[in-house]
Structure 1
């Protein structure tokens, strides 16, 4: 059975492209580019909490990197360096090799240097830490939403939640859509290019990991504002096509997580620029509501009646 340092050398020691000193010493050495500031985030994945026991190791490695890269996208930062601390129940070389390949492939896809980490024996737990760069003062934070701003979301949120419901609860999905939803759950694609392009346009932003309503509530709380979402503008069509049940589709869209799409606010006068950006990136961007000057969260139904809604999202310490 290989020891800790042999495992690190064989599976977790990767070449780098923009790092002064990578893995292999007591610390990596990195140098931000002139005029840039660092953005740093950690997002842990725990077996039984964030992924099923027996999960595909390649996809698990990909997702561990992707959810952290998404945190950089949510700030408008360019992801540059990442570490991985991992607890392993056993030194299964074939399993570790696939995990490392998935993690490495995601890093390579987003040009992120894997510069170190740590391994230990214990319950399966992956804890990356990511470092990104962005021009000083240009970070897109959660506290900038203002009255009258449009609310936008990227892509097709809710598909990952349907994939999870299919695997965990046996929710029946239409053939063809089933594979797409499960793929979205296991292999998220962080919206890095969009996040960078939104510098100077978005007033507030985050990535949707715990559900649209729950994550939007973080922006509202930090910005001291409220919001109304328009039912007729919500991107629900693919979800209805996938499950053919309105209640499941709406729940996945509003309260499901794991899509890692970007939810952001933009001043109304910038609406044309966001529409042009959607065309340039060939990425659907949906205007789903607007920011209000009074606290609260409402859903405006198709008949024009606005109903107060509860911002429910995933809570690690809430009821199971």
Structure 2
């Protein structure tokens, strides 16, 4: 039983049928807060050595912890309003670690005009661990979910895919790139950009939405399962940064390389479905928010994700992304 099976088979029943829990299948939960509005709540935990590298700067760790939660709000089409933070500090970190972490968090909270409204701190003999709870709002009934995709819808993605995965490989010393590409992919891994403005715009057009955290193929699978449909993805159409293009030039098996890019996590782009007639509106919204938008497939009858290679052949996918167990 992997992580998602554990949630489905062991934890979902604990929601006791509460509608806003969405059977623990979505990016966040919904709470009614009046006749016209819902609260959107999400919480992600980050652990040193699992979600970030032990040598990552503390200020960048704080910014990543906040941003991955804001990305969940973006995937639900929510407007962020506040955050809470709990941190288990390593004993050897000292005052300097705490100060640098707070500096990074303060920088991003200021930029997003968000308050920190609570949380907890403690010390641990184990790895440095932190949890951010992000709170947002949507008009009642307007939240994006994973469960609305319909056959005939287009599958689209924001930004570029695979940058963060290359960033992790680079920081681990597994690959090398040119100077500009090195800085770009390292930043994409350490400081993701939540697509909040695009998420708000997609409330008017998207039928389903998720953020790409575990890997594009894995997260597409979550949409397919929640919506009861199939997704066919053309990996040759994956939007690529200059850094990814540089890396691909050195790969002998292009299809295998594309699968690796589509299976890497931490991109925090939005993967969404929308009716064909809504593409132009979504494209204009992307232009206005300064983000790239690319159609990479379509929704079909059936189930699961079918990945097509450069010549249209169906590719074998062993693992579509990251799972904790």
Would the TM-score normalized by the shorter structure come out above 0.5? yes
1:114 aligns with one of 112, 116, 136:
116
Aligned to 1:7: none
User: What do the CA deviations read for 1:135-168 (whole angstroms, capped 9, x no partner)?
Assistant: 0100100000000100011001210100101112
Distance 1:254 1:46, change over 3 A: same
User: What do the CA deviations read for 1:3-47 (whole angstroms, capped 9, x no partner)?
Assistant: xxxxxxxxxxxxxxxxxxxxxxxxxxxx96872210111100011
1:1-320 → structure 2 map (5 Å cutoff)? 35-90=36-91, 92-122=94-124, 123=126, 124-236=128-240, 238=242, 239-242=244-247, 244-246=249-251, 247=254, 249-307=257-315, 309-310=317-318, 312-317=320-325
Q: How many residues align?
A: 287
Please say which structure displays the higher CA radius of gyration.
Answer: 1
1: CA distance between counterparts of 2:260 and 2:166? 6
Q: Secondary structure at the match of 1:181?
A: helix
8 Å Cα contact 1:297-1:309 kept in structure 2: no
1: CA distance between counterparts of 2:160 and 2:76? 20
1: CA distance between counterparts of 2:98 and 2:293? 37
* CA positional deviation for 1:237: 5.4
2: CA distance between counterparts of 1:253 and 1:145? 24
1: CA distance between counterparts of 2:306 and 2:34? 43
8 Å Cα contact 2:41-2:133 kept in structure 1: yes
Runs of 4+ in 1 over 4 A off after TM superposition: 31-34
8 Å Cα contact 1:217-1:311 kept in structure 2: no
1: CA distance between counterparts of 2:215 and 2:257? 13
Instruction: State the TM-score, normalized to the length of structure 1.
Output: 0.84
Instruction: State the TM-score, normalized to the length of structure 2.
Output: 0.83
Question: What's the Cα RMSD here?
Answer: 1.9
1: CA distance between counterparts of 2:257 and 2:311? 20
2: CA distance between counterparts of 1:242 and 1:177? 9
Aligned to 2:12: none
* CA positional deviation for 1:309: 3.8
* CA positional deviation for 1:79: 1.0
* CA positional deviation for 1:70: 0.8
* CA positional deviation for 1:242: 4.2
Q: Secondary structure at the match of 1:81?
A: strand
Distance 1:231 1:179, change over 3 A: same
Distance 1:37 1:257, change over 3 A: same
